[in-house]
Amino acid sequence: MVEPIFDYQFRLILIGDSTVGKSSLLKYFTDGKFAELSDPTVGVDFFARLIEMKDGTQIKLQLWDTAGQERFRSITKSYYRNSVGVLLVYDICKHCTFEHIPLWMMEAQRHIEPHRPVFALVGCKLDLVNSGGTREVTTEEARAFAKQHGLHFVETSARTGVNVEEAFRMVTQEVYSRIRSGEYKVEDGWDGIKTGFNRPSSLDFNLVVAEPERSSCC
């Protein structure tokens, strides 16, 4: 007998300008808390979490947090190819970060081809607006962009946790739906989707019987 740890593994990548909130989003999703102080990501950081689909299927998410600075772009490019889901992250209080989303999306598409990833447009720092901050990207503008390009869309706050779970679950659910429909398949040499890993249960060890040592006497 074997005890399944997860049924599938999906690899997701977060991209967007520096300081838009990618690391905070991931830390809340994986740790359930907001990091008051967060150092800029250098190159790539890795996170992981197990989530369950409505039918009980266990999905392990490999989550890659990329640096938004131009000097790290050559490093992060190598992580695009093996991703099946992409979260395009912007700061709703800085319109310039939203203006750069088309460039981030084109870069991801170019490096992930021939695979077609699931994209989600994710606005961050909703709590700043709710506490009196200035919103520079309206919900209507972002939703219209997402609809035009066929993206999932959600606004989030890593400080309060609003819609953080939803941001990752909607991408995961879409990938899983494409697997079930046959559009996505597990492929050798591509780590975007991998089948589950199993570990032996304690019962298996009871089935292993070592051979007795042979006597060395004549």
The pLDDT of residue 96 = 97
Residues 42 and 7 sit within 8 Å (Cβ to Cβ): no
CATH topology of domain 8-195: Rossmann fold (3.40.50)
pLDDT in tens, 55-91: 999 999 999 987 644 444 555 566 788 899 999 999 9
Mean pLDDT, rounded, for 20-49? 78
Residues 158 and 165 sit within 8 Å (Cβ to Cβ): no
Give alpha helix (H) positions in 37-163. Answer: 73-80, 95-99, 101-112, 126-130, 139-149
The better pLDDT of the pair 202, 36 is held by 36
- What's the count of helices (H) and strands (E) in the chain, helices before strands? 8, 9
- The residue extents of the domains of the chain are 8-195
Q: Is the pLDDT of residue 174 over 80?
A: yes
* Structure-token pair, residue 177: 């739906």
Determine the Cα angle at 53 with ends 5 and 162, to 5°: 110
**Rg over CA atoms, the chain:** 21
Best CA proximity match to 84, nearest among 179, 162, 206: 179
Mean pLDDT is lowest, of 120-134, 173-187, 189-203, for 189-203
pTM of the model: 0.83
11: alpha, beta or left, given left = phi > 0 and alpha = psi -120 to 50?
Answer: beta
